[in-house]
């Protein structure tokens, strides 16, 4: 991998020098190419899909459609239209000795991304990195090998048309050797971002010798409070669970106040219509028995709590009060997205203040945890850690800063 790493590092030194207009033109061309090449991209994607069972939770993430490619193109167009963060002056001051000091946004350099069966990430990362003057090393999984190679081919054509270094966006082979090399790429990669399952993230964190930003895994809860509005709750819970089950902001566990168990059948009715399997605890199960489809209702086991299902499955936990809900979330959350449904202003504020997660919601679906939905254009991932970036990572999160010091011959005397 050394030749690829060196070429990508070389490309990174020139990307940050391009004008915003030049980068915008590249991204708009790339967005148009994603749509124009739809037949080619779908044909290659079909080769990957043929090797995976439709019942696999990763199948939906792997699948490309004409509509999804339109959406990807729209996201890239949105990124193109956003102002570039590069060169932004974060602070400036003149010292008593006349030194002028400013803090200015700059690219990170080379961004490595390891991801699984999500070919859309190839487009997303390329667009965001180009916009922020970063070169990128992409390591997709073998499940999406044909799809990623096809997308890389489209990207390379666009880079060539605009005279950009072809290594500005480099796709690594989909094998384990490439993963190991990337994890050890000291001196060539400035930051590594894993996107995928908790096992992938854990592996990268444990074995990488380069800086890592953790993203991806979402064990998501929504607490239905004693004062919650039933109509709001039905809509929010159904949307959070069923809008797209394979994404990291999908609902995994519904916490319900024991006083609202009487409303649980009505609250979960849309889930039954969508075919959601419910794992209900010892108090929720009797409240649903006979009122929720028997084939979709099972008694919860401890392992169901703290599980990211990525499918039409949901755990239900009964709690006595807000404090018990907060304790359960603290014990099982992946610090991604958490929500409360309540009409009690004090409870809402307590929840928003005490829950430790990248995105915390009151009376809204966790499905909104997304870079495009947050107005960032697109995202390179959703960081669940606290250093450097947290939540959807857009353009600003793909930059660092440096100090510029301008003088007129000053020397230090103390």
CB 272 within 8 A of CB 297: no
Instruction: Tell me which of 315 and 414 has the higher pLDDT.
Output: 315
pLDDT of residue 403: 98
| pLDDT value at 387 more than 90 | no
pLDDT of residue 102: 98
Structure tokens at 119: 């070919």
Q: What is the mean pLDDT of the chain?
A: 95
| pLDDT value at 198 more than 80 | no
Reference 146, options 40, 61, 72, 59; nearest CA is: 40
Q: Given pLDDT bands bounded at 50, 70 and 90, which one contains residue 57?
A: confident
3-state SS string over 96-144?
Answer: CCCCEEEEEEEECCEEEEEECCCCHHHHHHHHHHHHCCCEEEEECCHHH
DSSP structural state of residue 173: P
Q: Whose structure tokens read 């667009």? A: 127
pLDDT of residue 76: 93
CB 351 within 8 A of CB 360: yes
pLDDT of residue 378: 72
State how far the Cα of 28 lies from the Cα of 22, in Å rounded to an integer.
Answer: 10
What mean pLDDT is predicted for residues 17-36?
96
pLDDT of residue 214: 84
CB 75 within 8 A of CB 124: yes
Tens-place pLDDT, residues 107-145? 999 999 999 888 999 999 999 999 999 999 999 999 999
Task: Print burial letters for 240-256: b (CB count within 10 Å at least 16), e (below 16).
Answer: bbbeebbbbbbbbbbbb
| pLDDT value at 248 more than 80 | yes
Q: Whose structure tokens read 């699948």? A: 63
- Coil, strand or helix at 191: strand
**Gyration radius of the chain's alpha carbons:** 24
Reference 107, options 215, 10, 12, 11; nearest CA is: 12
Tens-place pLDDT, residues 316-373? 999 999 999 999 999 999 899 999 999 999 999 999 999 999 999 999 999 999 888 8
Tens-place pLDDT, residues 364-384? 999 999 888 888 777 788 888
| pLDDT value at 262 more than 90 | yes
pLDDT of residue 37: 98
State how far the Cα of 4 lies from the Cα of 203, in Å rounded to an integer.
Answer: 23
pLDDT of residue 385: 86
Tens-place pLDDT, residues 272-301? 999 999 999 999 999 999 999 999 999 999
| pLDDT value at 216 more than 90 | no
């Amino acid at each position: 991998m050394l030749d690829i790493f060196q070429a990508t590092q070389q490309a990174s030194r020139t990307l940050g020098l391009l004008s915003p207009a030049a980068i915008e033109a590249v991204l708009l061309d790339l967005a148009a190419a994603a749509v124009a090449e739809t037949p080619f991209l779908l044909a290659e994607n079909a080769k990957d899909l043929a090797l995976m069972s439709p019942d696999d939770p990763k199948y939906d993430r792997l699948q490309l459609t004409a509509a999804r490619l339109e959406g990807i193109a729209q996201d890239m167009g949105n990124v193109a239209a956003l102002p570039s963060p590069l060169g932004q002056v974060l602070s400036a001051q003149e010292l008593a000795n006349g030194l002028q000091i400013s803090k200015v946004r700059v690219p990170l350099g080379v961004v490595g991304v390891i991801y699984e069966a999500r070919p859309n990430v190839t487009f997303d990362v390329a667009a965001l990195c180009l916009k922020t003057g970063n070169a990128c090393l992409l390591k997709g999984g073998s499940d999406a090998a044909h799809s990623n190679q096809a997308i890389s081919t489209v990207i390379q054509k666009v880079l060539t048309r605009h005279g950009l270094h072809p290594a500005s966006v480099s796709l690594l082979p989909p094998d384990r050797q490439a993963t190991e090399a990337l994890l050890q790429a000291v001196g060539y990669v400035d930051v590594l971002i894993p996107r995928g399952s908790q096992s992938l993230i854990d592996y990268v964190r444990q074995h990488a010798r380069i800086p890592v930003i953790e993203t991806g895994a979402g064990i998501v809860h929504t607490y239905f409070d004693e004062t919650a509005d039933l109509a709001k709750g039905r809509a929010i819970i159904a949307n959070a669970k069923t809008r797209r089950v394979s994404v990291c902001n999908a609902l995994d566990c519904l916490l319900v106040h024991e006083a609202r168990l009487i409303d649980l059948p009505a609250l979960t009715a849309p889930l039954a219509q969508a075919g959601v399997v419910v794992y209900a605890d010892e108090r929720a199960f009797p409240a649903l028995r006979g009122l929720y489809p028997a084939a979709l209702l099972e008694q919860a086991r401890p392992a169901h709590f703290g599980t990211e299902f990525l499918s039409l499955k949901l755990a239900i936990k009964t709690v006595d009060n807000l404090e018990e809900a907060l304790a359960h979330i603290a014990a099982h959350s992946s610090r991604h997205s958490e929500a409360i449904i309540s009409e009690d202003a004090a409870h809402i504020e307590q929840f928003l203040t005490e829950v430790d997660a990248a995105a915390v919601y009151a009376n809204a679906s966790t499905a909104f945890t997304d870079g495009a939905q947050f107005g960032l254009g697109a995202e390179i991932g959703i960081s669940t850690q606290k250093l450097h970036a947290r939540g959807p990572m857009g353009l600003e999160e793909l930059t660092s800063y440096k100090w510029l010091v301008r003088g007129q011959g000053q020397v230090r005397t103390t």
